[in-house]
Structures are given as C-alpha cells and as structure tokens.
C-alpha cells in the first residue's frame, strides 16, 4: 500500500471525477458493495445494493468484536447525517415551526445528543443555530466518547478473524474506535458549528454514567429554563425514552422518527459527498471505485477533515496526484475552478 495521498474531505469530488462520476462504493472489511452511482443533473443517481442481512453476515465474521464493525444502523445514520435521507416526520416539524414562531414568547429548541450525531441543525437548515439550546450535559456525553482507541491486541484479534483484510485493519492500530470516530467527526463537529451562536445551558451537574440519568438532567434543566425566563424550550429528540421523560416532566418536545420511507433515487452533490466522508469516518475505511478511503490511518495528525487515499492502480494515482495538485495551486492563488 504505497500509492497513497492525504487529502481533505472537500477534495473527494476530484477523486469522483476520475471515474466520470460513475463508480461503486463498498465496505472493504466485508467485501460488500453498498451502492453504485452515476451523475444526474447537478447531483447523482444512487442504486442501493446492500441490505441489513449483508451487514449482519459481514460483522459475524468478526465474532466477539462484531459490534465494533460497520452496522446497518451506522449506514442509515450516515445517510441521515449527510442529508441524503431525512426524518420521516420532518415536514410535520416544519409545519409546527410556523405555530411556534407565531407565539408571543420566545421559542428555543433544545438539541438532544442524538440530533448532534445526525447533524440535524446544520444539514437540514430548518432552524437557525441562534434558536438552539445546547445543555452542557450533551457536550459532556460527546466528550466522554472521544478518546477510545484500538489496542494492538484488539487489532490482532480483528486480523485473526479476517486475515484477508489484515493490512487494512492494521491501519487502525492506536486510532479511534467507531464510537469515538462518530463522536469526534459527527457530534462534536456539529456542536462546534453551533456553540458560538447557541444558548449554552448550564445544568449545574456533571454527566452521569447512564443515558437515562443524563436525560433527566437535560429535561429538568429545560423545565427550570422555562420557569425562570419568558421563553418556551422545545426539546428536539429522536429518542422515545427522552420523549416519555418530557411527558412526565411537562416539557414541550418534538420526537423525530427515523427515515423508514424508501431511500431516494437521486441526491444533490453536497449531500452525496458528505455521505462519502461520513461513511469513511464511521466505517473507518471505504472502497470508492478501487481506491481505499481511510479516515483513520497510521500517521494521521489532528486534522479531523483529513483522509488518506490508497490506490491500487498506479496510473490512477498519477492522474489524481496531478489533478489535486492543480486544484491546490488554484486555491492558493484564490482562483476557484
């Protein structure tokens, strides 16, 4: 694996252009094709291939470590966080927004932890960051998930389960586990995009060891917020247990439903390239038209937007290196091609 180039996420379209926008995205850890794409208008047409049973079968090969491997729920969450799919009842929420905004009192929207992982505010754009409340417990929950790394022993056990993929798996040694990748590159990225404009709510407590206890801290803090200010806090969540707690405590909420509807056949370019980046982040590595895209790899620095491309084809590597070099020079000159 010597034909490698480190890139930023925004340079993924250059890679797609090498294949004229027609390629298949796969999980190399499972030898599983996820979907194929081709250009359509200003976006892409997607043909979805992988099903839940395919993920279950692929993860099963890793035995006791199956939960650390890419799951179908991870796949669905990447589709949601990228904006390729949306919550089943998003339109209902948009309709309710009109009612909230006609109220005489200020309405602010508390963001539950799961919505940070789904990048709800920045991707959908239906509410502004200035309208949001970020309880400190939510930040703490994400921070606690940030620093879990693969030990050499763990990696050796994964390699023993899938010797054909030993080289790929070896890149993850001492790098972030799946839980930490999702926390760092999805939830914390969303939090940072919101925090300077959101209202940061101090709950007066530290995060507990269970999500149920943390949910209680968040809901009670929002109830106090309503009592102390002429404002209506509305908790936005995709967790039914959190919604039940809001009912019990008398806190306004909106419960989003996961996107069970049929996946779209087409998507815009921005959402599509977010999807590629998030799949690489959550899965650790994806195969894009015979090029491995790593989000975690040996020698990676602190740049969360960095990826490493590993080429199997020398001519393709040469062509990409030339194209990305030209684009970087144009950007350095302030010229956008």
What are 38-60's pLDDT values in tens digits? 999 999 999 999 999 999 999 99
Judgement on whether residues 224 and 241 belong to the same structural domain of the protein:
yes
Can you give the pLDDT at residue 290? 87
**Does any domain span residue 14?**
yes
Judgement on whether residues 203 and 269 belong to the same structural domain of the protein:
no
Whether this model's pTM surpasses 0.85: yes
The answer on pLDDT for 1 being more than 60 is no
Q: CA 75, CA 59: separation in Å to the nearest integer?
A: 13
- Sequence-ordered strand ranges (E) for 79-220: 106-111, 132-135, 199-201
**Does any domain span residue 167?**
no
Which tens digits make up the pLDDT trace of 274-289? 999 999 999 999 999 8
Judgement on whether residues 100 and 248 belong to the same structural domain of the protein:
yes
**Does any domain span residue 324?**
yes
Can you give the pLDDT at residue 337? 54
- Which domain does 306 fall in, by range? 4-85+261-332
Boundary (domain end) residue, out of 208, 225, 255: 255
Number of domains in the chain: 2
As a whole-number percent, the residues of the chain with pLDDT over 70 amount to 98
pLDDT band of residue 263 (cuts 50, 70, 90) is confident
**Does any domain span residue 65?**
yes
- Give backbone dihedrals phi and psi of 61, rounded to 5 degrees, phi first: -65, -20
Boundary (domain end) residue, out of 199, 221, 255: 255
Judgement on whether residues 187 and 267 belong to the same structural domain of the protein:
no
Judgement on whether residues 78 and 24 belong to the same structural domain of the protein:
yes
Boundary (domain end) residue, out of 215, 236, 255: 255
SS3 107: strand
**Does any domain span residue 38?**
yes
Which tens digits make up the pLDDT trace of 319-336? 999 999 999 998 888 765
Judgement on whether residues 109 and 200 belong to the same structural domain of the protein:
yes
The answer on pLDDT for 271 being more than 80 is yes
**Does any domain span residue 173?**
no
Q: CA 272, CA 37: separation in Å to the nearest integer?
A: 10
27: nearest Cα among 294, 286, 311:
286
């Amino acid at each position: 694996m010597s034909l490698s180039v480190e890139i930023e996420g925004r340079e993924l379209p250059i890679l797609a252009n090498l294949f004229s926008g027609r390629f298949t995205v796969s999980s190399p850890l499972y030898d599983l094709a996820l979907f194929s794409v081709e250009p359509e208008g200003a976006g892409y047409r997607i043909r979805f291939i992988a099903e839940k049973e395919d993920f279950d079968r692929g993860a099963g090969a890793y035995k006791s470590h199956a939960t650390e491997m890419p799951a179908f729920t991870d796949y669905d969450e990447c589709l949601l966080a990228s904006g390729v799919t949306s919550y089943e009842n998003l339109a209902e929420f948009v309709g309710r927004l009109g009612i909230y905004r006609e109220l005489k009192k200020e309405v602010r929207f508390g963001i539950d932890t799961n919505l940070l992982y789904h990048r709800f505010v920045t991707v959908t754009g239906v509410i502004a960051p200035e309208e949001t409340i970020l309880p400190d417990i939510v930040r703490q929950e994400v921070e606690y998930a940030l620093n879990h790394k693969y030990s050499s022993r763990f990696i050796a056990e994964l390699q023993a389960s899938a010797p054909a993929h030993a080289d790929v798996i070896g890149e993850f040694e001492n790098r972030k586990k799946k839980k930490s990748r999702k926390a760092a590159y999805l939830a914390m990225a969303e939090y940072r995009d919101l925090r300077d404009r959101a209202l940061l709510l101090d709950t007066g407590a530290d995060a507990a060891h269970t999500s149920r206890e943390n949910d209680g801290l968040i809901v009670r803090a929002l109830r106090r917020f309503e009592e102390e200010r002429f404002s209506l806090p509305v908790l936005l969540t995709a967790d039914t247990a959190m919604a039940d707690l809001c009912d019990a405590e008398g806190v306004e909420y909106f419960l989003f439903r996961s996107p069970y509807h049929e996946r779209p056949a087409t998507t815009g370019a921005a959402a599509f390239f977010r999807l590629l980046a998030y799949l690489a982040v959550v899965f650790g590595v994806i195969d894009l038209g015979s090029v491995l895209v790593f989000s975690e790899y040996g020698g990676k620095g602190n740049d969360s937007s960095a990826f490493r491309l590993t080429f199997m084809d020398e001519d393709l590597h040469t062509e990409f290196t030339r194209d990305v070099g030209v684009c970087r020079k144009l950007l350095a000159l302030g010229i956008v091609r």
